[in-house]
Structure 1
Amino acid sequence: SKEAIDEARNEITKSFGKQYAHSRNFNTKTKGAQEAHEAIRPTDISRSRINMDADMSRLYELIWKRTIASQMADAELERTLVKISSNKSDEIFSATGEVIVFDGFLKVYLESTDDEKENDTDETQEGLLPNLTVGESLSNQNITATQRFSRPPSRYTEASLVKKLEELGIGRPSTYAPTISTIQNRTYVEKGIDEGAERVYQQLILKADKIADKKLKETTGSSKGKLVPTDIGYIVNDFLIQHFTDIVDYNFTAKVEEDFDEIASGNQEWTTMMGTFYNAFHPKVLDVEKNAERESGERILGEDPVSGKQISVRLGKFGPMAQIGSIDDEEKKFASLKPDQNIGTLTIEEALDLFKLPRTIGSYKDHELVVNIGRFGPYVKFDKTFVSIPKEIDPLEITIPEAIELIDQKIAENAPVATYQSKPVQKGKGRFGPYLKWDNIFINVNKKYDFDKLSQTDIEELIEEKIQKNKDKIIQEWKEEGIKIEKDRYGKAVLIKGKIKKALTGKIKPEAMTLEEAKELLKVKSAVKKTKTAKAKK
């Protein structure tokens, strides 16, 4: 607001001088984006500090500094290359950096960057140089030579990905968060958890005609908090690039965004824009659906030393897996990859290790303990119970005591916490949050309830609400046939029999549908499903 700008100008002039004041208004960089609200700023800009706890004070100081810096003059920097000769050597030393001519907003605030570095130092970083003059004599206090390794570009974080989308003109502020959520929900990328590995590097320091040799450590290869592509992400990306090159092109996506802006402004008819796009896009979709082969990302690793058969790795129905034997072999072996393994980097030695599973490591309470890897990762099977093995334990090296500890923990977690209608109620935490399980029904527990202190009344209330919701969803049901019509999460009618689901659209009225009509629709759906499955196996 004008009031805040005037207040900031007065405070800057008073504290730093008139030359530091430079009032400015900021507008969104993204075309077509709505301005939301005034930026978060101090209500009284003359107060540079507040008397509160340390965290609150630091937060306030950051907001104050950024507010003041946004209304200050630009810093003036002189890019400088300094060459230094030595009276003891023919070598020429050089330093590249910047000399501050006028500090401007740097007087109060130096912005950090969202591009995360694995270490604080970086061989390409250029620092600030002191003021120097040509011919000036410099005293050698020390010279440091540091060993450096080349590094690949850093993977995107959520913040740096948004910044890149803005640069490319893809998306709008309202679509950035849903875009990032979608690629994670569909497991195209996942948040990295790898802490990286320590690497030793050398540093030589020349001081007082003596050289000191230091061995230092740095962390490299960390993916923690970064967006790491998954196997399915790579495969989907390759498929789209191969068959829809123009659609996944950055320029095409940015052009569509511009067209949407023009439509929103009333300068273009949406029917014309969509017609032009659809007339070119739809035939290509039909062609790909008819002729494209199913992508699996298959890599041939070598031969099995025992059978002599081909060993390959690919994406299967239940996730990435290794395979002994080619497609034409009648007898093939399969093994799921571990959660931290990748189709693109798996070695033949790692693949052969996978076929050491399943393995029986012993027994507990008269039941065998069998270790294996499934679609959700490695597990121990005890009787009819499957217990996940945590990432820090190698399934090939898990011991009997470790397995028993995991089993006892799982049994304790699955112990009934209450009963309802004489049936046990269990509680747990899954990928979608805390839940109750009763009579094979899973009930999400929302934040309204204290999950750790659920009372009998809370449990009964949650179960009864779920039962009522399930009843409200059903439009029609033929129990003897196992067929029903119910509303999906968006309120649309869906015809269901077992695992077969058919969305009811158009002129079909679900309330008036007969059993014969439902069976006919399910037959058609089942036939289409079988055709697609047969095509995929070819």
Structure 2
Amino acid sequence: MKLVIVESPKKSESFSRYLGEGYSILATQGHLRDLATSGKGGLGVDIENNFKPNYKLMPKKEKIWDEIRSQAKKADEVLLATDPDREGEAIAWHLADMLRLDVNSTKRLEFHEITRDSIKEAIKDPRIIDMNLVNSQETRRILDRIIGFKLSSLMQKKLRSPSAGRVQTATLKIITDHEKEIMNFVPKEYWEIVVTIEICKEQYHLKLAKVNGKTPEIKDEKAAQDLFNKLGENLTLNEIIKKVRNIPSKPPFKTSTLQQEASNRFHFSTSKTASIAQSLYEGITVGEEHVGLVTYIRTDSTRLSDSYIQRAHSYISENFGSNYIGVVKKEKATLLGQDAHEAIRPTGNHRTPSLVSKYLSYDQIRLYRLIYNRALASLMSDAKEEVSTAFLKNGELEFRLESKKNLFDGHRRLYEEDENDVICTPLMQEGTVFKILKKEKVQKFTTPPARYSEAKVVQLMEEAGIGRPSTYASTIRLLLTRKYIEATKDGLKATEQGIKTATVVAKYFPEFADVCYTAKMESDLDQIQYGKTKHLEMLNSFYAPFEQKVKEAYQIMYKEPEEVTGELCPKCGSPLVNKKSKHGQFVACSNYPTCKYIKKPEKVEPQYTGENCPECGKPLVIRKYGRNKTFVACSGYPTCKFVKNEEHHHHEEHDHELGKCPKCGGNLKIRTYRKSKFIGCSNYPKCDYSTKLKK
């Protein structure tokens, strides 16, 4: 028996179906070990002993590890089939280390899609663990632990901010700088001259484009009125210029562009897109087949494999015609692109969105259709359209009307992008005079820049070289959790605490707020992965200057005073202050830790209804449950459990009876509570008998 170890239970299900008898499949469910929080500074790293890490089994992973260890002892061979990325390589190495397997001979399966052929090929052609990739991940983890623990501790003590870090702080700085730009924006007045004319029984609204061949700047009403007075009653068609333009298809998705497009089209958060894409990658049961529908989802490449290109070209020719086959786009090389994986694409063109839609959820099919169509359309021919620009004049005033006519749909036949509606070119002749039906001068004001969406932040992170495809969504999620930013209907808004944190870090640790520094650090870490730099060289060069800066910051950084309540501590007489914890706000002594007094929250007076309980005579009160829900019950609870108006509990009673209650003799009925059905007594709340409803 051979033991194959994967990362997720979903993958283990797929592997079991593909490999059959002779193989046992287990899942680690992510990392098994992480740096301990013991040792000097709680870093889990022995700085003085060449940054030797101290790994510890993660909480709640004991049962998983016991099962893996037990099965490994019985197995003839252990095959490591974790994800084909940096974290997956690290998990594979940790497994080899914990199971005492030889890293130079233990088989490491690499696959980029979860299909029968891909897994069989990985079994046939295994490799060994890439220690350069492992060292790169370990160096990242050690750096993040050192920066995170030391910088976060400083921020907590001086600023009461929960954390700071290598990637999150640089990303936060991007958002807070933009927020300051919005806050400091001063609207400026400007005016537009707009006319309405009729062409081919269609009304068009045209804005003034040129005055004596120059673009006008109409800053006030007087300037607008002067131009308005020059406008006559007609416009004359002076010239029509027609151009044919080709619109090439966009490349297939990589992680960042998929998150951006899903946000723009479906308003998905980056985390939601990542979660749905992961489910499509790990495998879906389609008919009698369990298969991964898309390739690996954490990639910074738009490259497609030769085999997929050949299959796609055949599919395009058969379904659309040979004139729809386009050229294969060459990916532009970037300094930070790793090109370790293909673009995100469907694993099979025969699994069309319409074919698999009945096996997927609503959101899954939307994302799969997006991935499928984008990958296929990237290999289709250019769309062609004729763009006509009409120049209409009245004296020195010039207005323009642009229209488009589709000549060849090309890739748009499959992947229609969000562009302006294509309208037919109006049938007009030069010299034609059009009567102005309406003319007006409109006052307007410039508006502040729009807040960044999650998709825009991902784009900026990628452009700046901050983080990697696997960290985009988690970084934004962390900033939201820390309450440094908040999601509003207008986009991501930096909070006061977020702006304060980014400003202070930029002042005392400018390198961590500098996207160029963070990008260089990412690039240096990549050099370890390529075997061009030793990981100890990077750690040594980073640690000493950073440690010195932290020590200096503790001495010179201003500590933000806590908010005083105006009361004195009953134990030591020190002022009481408002404090925050992960559980919320509370009042405590400012002399902590010498004095550990915490003020108990004042009891909220019950809200009486003015009625008495029909069972015990005590007053009825309004109670709360959930976030904003209330019900009326007896104030004598738990002695008296009377509840008035059971609809407050959202109980739904069905008509048909199911016999007698064994507790009180009442009628048993099917009831619904919070979308779950059960059998309950009709005399509730006097009788609380209930039992499960058998399916």
> TM-score, normalising length from structure 2?
0.34
> TM-score, normalising length from structure 1?
0.43
Larger RCO: Structure 1 or Structure 2 (Cα < 8 Å, ≥ 6 residues apart)? 2
